[in-house]
């Protein structure tokens, strides 16, 4: 067991990625994510890894895709404006099935916005930011320790599903410092991309296995193949016919959807007898939990579901948990994003959005008041 130490969220995220085997970082400075790049610059060469500060956000995304194709576990980090720039190549990574991790430490937007203020305004962009249809994996940690754990999960999911994975941090979690005790290296599960057992002449780079994910062979080992963002067949060659297109687009969704139980990470608090449910994530969850505890002290039967996995949205789990509640309160540091997804699956009449988008994180009272109002209203 490691000793407890004071750690910053961005630092924990970086350490988690390194513990999971990331050895390549390419990025560009942007508040409030820059610490991830700075720490990576310092640590990676000591570990025999590679760091490069690229000329812009798009180049960073290209470089991590290239490094991953060459066989390394690769990560980049950014915030809103950079995340917007990266969208085309995130889509490329999805189409070419390249494992990469993108850390987005959300800040208040749109545009330059409030560089040092928190928000959760990129939730829907994470789902739909790149053009076209695809399955998405995004994880949102709610504490410094969780930033470490989520980073490990993110790297592992990227490898397992051959897809870009977003770590949806926010400025609260990214810049806060907490005392954490990190797991030892031996305690961490590491997942590597599947390799093929076929000889090169039989290998087809984009032929999926039973789990709908193709094996991935790095450049340099004799398995040369074509990688393209065009729609492609099992050999990786461009193929624009409707049969191929339908097959590939379906698989880009189903390879993730079929494993939703494995991908869904969350914590639950006081749910057993809860009549009022708070669903939240990331930096909002801390204030929400404080509010829930205060409400409980006042005798309110309220519980909290903290989502760590935002995408794929765990609709069945949320539906099951929300079914027992009379009211579902959804605090978010945005104008209302994940609440729309919740309303798709939970009776809209009982969903109460609670939104703070003035650049400040929630005060527990911001969430306690609606809980008490919901309690009062439901009598």
Partner 1 sequence: MEGIEKYLRKSALPHIWCPGCGNGIVLAAMLRAIDKLQLDQQKTVIVSGIGCSSRASGYMNFNTVHTAHGRALPFATGIKLANPELNVIVITGDGDCTAIGGNHFIHSARRNIDITTIIFNNGIYGMTGGQYSPLSPQNSKATTAPYGVGERPFDIGNLAIAAGATYVARGTAFHATQLTDLVVSAIENKGFSVVDAITQCPIAYGRKNKMGPAAQMMKWQRDHAVMAKAAAKMTPEALQDKFLIGELHRSVAPEYVAEYEKLVARLQGGEA
Note the residues at the interface with partner 1 (CB under 8 A): 24, 26, 45-46, 48-50, 52, 54-56, 58-72, 74, 88-89, 92, 218-222, 224-230, 237-238
Tokens of 92: 């490329």
123 three-state secondary structure: helix
Smallest gap, in angstroms, from Cβ of residue 246 to partner 1?
Answer: 22
Measured in degrees and rounded to the nearest 5, phi and psi for residue 177 equal: -120, 135
Our CB check for partner 1 shows the closer of 6 and 70 to be 70
Question: For residue 191, what are the contacts with CB-CB under 8 A and spacing of at least 6?
Answer: 155, 156, 157, 159, 160
CB of 199 to partner 1, least distance (A): 13
Q: How far is the CB of 166 from partner 1 (least distance, A)?
A: 19
Cα gap 228→231, rounded to integer Å: 8
Closest listed residue to residue 259, CA positions, set 201, 204, 314, 320: 314
| C-alpha closest to that of 198 among 219, 228, 221, 220 | 221
Q: What phi and psi values does residue 158 have, to the nearest 5 degrees? A: -60, -45
Contact by Cβ (8 Å): 100, 75: yes
Q: In the complex, what is the shortest distance from the CB of residue 128 to partner 1, in angstroms, rounded to a whole number?
A: 19
CB closer to partner 1, 67 vs 152: 67
Smallest gap from residue 237 Cβ to partner 1 (A)? 6
Measured from the CB atom, is 72 or 277 closer to partner 1?
A: 72
Q: Is 73 or 160 the residue whose CB approaches partner 1 more closely? A: 73
Where do we find the tokens 């810049």? 175
Shortest separation between residue 49's beta carbon and partner 1, angstroms: 8
- The SS3 of residue 55 is coil
* β pairing state of 73-78 and 22-27: parallel
Q: Which is nearer to partner 1, 49 or 214 (CB)?
A: 49
| SS3 category, 6 | strand
Strand 327-332 relative to strand 351-355, pairing = parallel
Give the nearest distance from C-beta 61 to partner 1 in angstroms: 7
Residue 51 and residue 78 in contact, taking contact as beta carbons nearer than 8 Å: no
CA distance 109 to 339: 19
Short-list 24, 22, 26, 14, CA closest to 54: 26
Of 48 and 210, which has the nearer Cβ to partner 1?
48
Pick the closer one to partner 1 by CB: 200 or 377. Answer: 200
In angstroms, what is the C-alpha Rg of the chain? 21
- Kindly state the smallest distance separating residue 114's Cβ from partner 1, in Å: 27
Instruction: Give the nearer residue to partner 1 in terms of CB position, either 10 or 60.
Output: 60
* Residue 134 or 286 with smaller CB distance to partner 1: 134
CB atoms within 10 A of CB 348: 12
Report in angstroms how near the CB of residue 167 gets to partner 1 at its nearest.
Answer: 19
């Amino acid at each position: 067991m490691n000793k407890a130490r004071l750690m910053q969220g961005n630092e924990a995220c970086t350490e988690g990625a390194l513990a999971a085997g990331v050895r390549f970082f390419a990025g560009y400075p942007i508040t409030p994510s820059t610490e991830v790049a700075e720490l990576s610059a310092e640590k990676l060469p000591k570990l025999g890894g590679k760091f490069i500060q690229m000329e812009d956000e798009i180049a960073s995304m290209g470089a991590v895709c290239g490094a991953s194709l060459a066989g390394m576990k690769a990560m980049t980090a950014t915030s809103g404006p950079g995340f917007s720039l990266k969208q085309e190549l995130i889509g490329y990574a999805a189409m070419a099935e390249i494992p990469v991790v993108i850390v987005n430490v959300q800040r208040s937007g749109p545009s330059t916005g409030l560089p040092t203020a928190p928000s959760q305004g990129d939730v829907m962009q994470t789902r739909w930011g790149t053009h076209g249809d695809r399955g998405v994996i995004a994880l949102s940690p709610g504490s410094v320790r969780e930033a470490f754990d989520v980073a490990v999960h993110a790297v592992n999911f990227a490898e397992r599903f051959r897809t870009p994975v977003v770590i949806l941090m926010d400025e609260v979690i990214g810049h806060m410092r907490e005392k954490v005790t990190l797991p030892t290296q031996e305690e961490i599960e590491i997942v590597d991309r599947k390799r093929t057992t076929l000889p090169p002449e039989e290998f087809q780079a984009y032929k999926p296995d039973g789990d709908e994910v193709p094996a991935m062979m790095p450049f340099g080992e004799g398995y040369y193949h074509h990688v393209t963002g065009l729609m492609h067949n099992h050999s990786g060659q461009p193929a624009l016919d409707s049969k191929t297109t339908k097959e590939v687009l379906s698989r880009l969704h189903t390879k993730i959807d079929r494993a939703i139980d494995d991908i869904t990470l969350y914590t639950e608090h006081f749910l057993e007898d809860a009549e009022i449910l708070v669903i939240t994530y990331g930096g909002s969850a801390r204030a929400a939990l404080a509010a829930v505890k205060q409400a409980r002290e006042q005798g309110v039967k309220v519980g909290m579901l903290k989502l760590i996995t935002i995408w794929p949205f765990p609709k069945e789990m949320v539906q099951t948990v929300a079914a027992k509640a009379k009211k579902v309160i959804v605090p978010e540091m945005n104008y209302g994003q994940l609440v729309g997804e919740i309303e798709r699956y939970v009776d809209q009449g009982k969903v109460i959005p609670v939104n703070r988008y003035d650049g400040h994180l929630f005060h527990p009272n911001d969430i306690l008041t609606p809980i008490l109002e919901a309690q009062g209203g439901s009598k």
